Amino acid sequence: MITIKTPATSANLGAGFDCLGIALKLYNIFQIEKYDHNFLENVDEEYNNDNNLFLRAYRLGCETIGKYDPIHVIFDCHIPISRGLGSSASFIIGGLIAASVLHNNILSEAEIYRLACSIEGHPDNIAPCLYGGLCAGMKIDEKHFSSHKLPIHKDWKYTALVPDVEISTEETRAALPDHYARTEVATAISNAILTSQALQESNLPLLLAATHDIVHEPYRKKLIPNFEIIQQIVKEDTDGILLISGSGSTCLCIAKKELSTAARLKIASLPNHWQCLQLDIAYHGTEIER
């Protein structure tokens, strides 16, 4: 069987709304082979059907290629669902790559990226999941997307703080305003540019200033229990920044030092069973093992 490993991703990174994302070493793993019928193994019953996102992406890949073979997939999934760590991007990329590798690698990376974005609707998780590292993605129109891999300094430490709380992307998008003032848009643009620069330079003061988001975090943080308490714990313990990962409920700490055991215990003691996951960057994105 062929093995496909797709990494978790954290999108937005504060000011980079719907465009910036980073890949992290927490993986969904899919073992695949052609089969005489579709057989999804080790999948929760609610996802073991034709609407499974991996299978939907696989079908789209096959339709694009012009060939369809049923598939046997063994799922070994470690990215939590509906937590803001790019689980949907992971399944979409996995399914599309499965379609390609089972048909002589006929789809290019660029084609896989385009198809994946067409399913997801925005590129901020898709680009780092496929390419790895820190990426900026752009939606040109409904059928065309662009991406660029950005340099990032290796000094940063990343801790994903994951509560036992599901938040849907639809719910968090509904919490956002329909319009923003011109001055807010200008600030948001400069913050996004300087966030990527701070991550490249390992410039913590610049990162703290640039990730002060005005587009989504002020509205979404209200949906995340104890966000401000955890934000204060992170600030006092690491001098770093706490950001909402994607649309939440996971939060991402970026700092120059790891979160201490004492701070982890404080966070774990809060309601909603918070997990603290120290993660490295997945520089290579999705990996294929034959």
Annotated binding site: 80-90
| C-alpha span between 269 and 267 (Å, rounded) | 5
Annotated binding site for ATP: 80-90
| C-alpha span between 58 and 64 (Å, rounded) | 10
3-state SS of the chain: helix, strand, coil percent to 5?
40, 25, 35
| C-alpha span between 104 and 62 (Å, rounded) | 12
- The SS3 of residue 48 is coil
Give the other-Cβ count within 10 Å of 173's Cβ.
13
CA 178 centroid distance within chain: 24
Give the other-Cβ count within 10 Å of 281's Cβ.
18
| C-alpha span between 251 and 260 (Å, rounded) | 16
Identity of the residue numbered 4: I
Token representation of residue 3: 């093995």
